[in-house]
Each structure stands twice: as structure tokens, then as C-alpha cells.
Amino acid sequence: MNSRTMDWYVLLRFFHIVSFATWFGTVFASLFLLKTLEPKLTDSTGNPEEYAKILRSYIKRETKVADAAFKLTIASGLLMALLTQTWSIPLFVKIALVILQFALTMGYIVKAIQPLTYPCSPSDYKRWYNLFAISLSMFALVLSVSFFLL
């Protein structure tokens, strides 16, 4: 790799790490917000509709940030692979894991999260925590495979 290519690679790696951290951070921010809103969204006294509106507004904004970070993570990773010509089995394993994470997360959102209405029971609200269990487990798997197995 020549010096100019190395400069681009370092810059792409920086964007890759920052965008992955942003994507990961949006997941944690959502988890904390949902934990904070849980008493308001599972109790029929008070005004759960107002808190549901806050949640929907937040999720709409969070999705924009998470989607942009996800796309930047993918794009920078693919550009790094193109730049270094390291199309290999480990790279395809990482790509497959990210696709799996996306499919599992989106599938669970459509199946279990979108049908929720508020106020809901605490047991129904736990669907949110299942979503984060899926997402964070996949983050852990992707990072473990990337740093320790490949």
C-alpha cells in the first residue's frame, strides 16, 4: 500500500469507527429512553398518549441518525476493502453478520414492536427489551468475530 492509499485508508477507518460507534450509541440512547418512559407507557393513569407521542417522535429522529450511521459504516467498510483489496472469507463473514443483524432487528420491529399500543402491559413492554437483546447481542457477535476470530 503506498503512502497516499494509506492516508485514505486511515481516514476511512476513522469514519468507519465513528459511524459504528454512532450506530451503537443510538441503540443505547434508545434503551435508556425506553427504560425512563416505561412507567408512563405501562400505566393507564396519567397521560400515556403524550408519552407515546414523545417516544414516536424520538424514534423517528433516532432512526434517521441510526440509518445514516449504518450506511456510513457499511460504505466505509466496503471502501476500505476495495482500497486494500482484501476481499476474503473474513470480510464476507462480517458482511453476513451485519446483514443478519439488520434482518433480525427489522424483522422483530415489524413483528413485535410496531403492533404495540400504549398504555400496554409491562409484559408487552418487555418486547422492547427483547429488541435490544437481539441488537446488542448481534453487536457483540460482530465485534467478537471481527476482533478475536478473524
Q: Where are the domains of the chain?
A: 3-149
With a CB cutoff of 8 Å and minimum separation 6, the contacts of 30 are 58, 59, 62, 132
Predicted confidence (pLDDT) per residue in 21-58, tens digit: 999 999 999 999 999 999 999 998 888 999 999 999 99
Nearest residue to 51 (alpha-carbon basis) of 110, 1, 125 = 125
Is the pTM here over 0.85, yes or no?
yes
1 band by pLDDT with thresholds 50, 70 and 90: low
Residue 150's pLDDT is what?
Answer: 62
Query: Which of residues 4 and 133 earns the better pLDDT score?
Result: 133
How far is it, in rounded angstroms, from Cα 100 to Cα 40? 33
Q: What is the pLDDT of residues 89-147, one digit of tens each?
A: 888 898 899 999 999 999 999 999 999 999 999 999 999 999 999 999 999 999 898 88
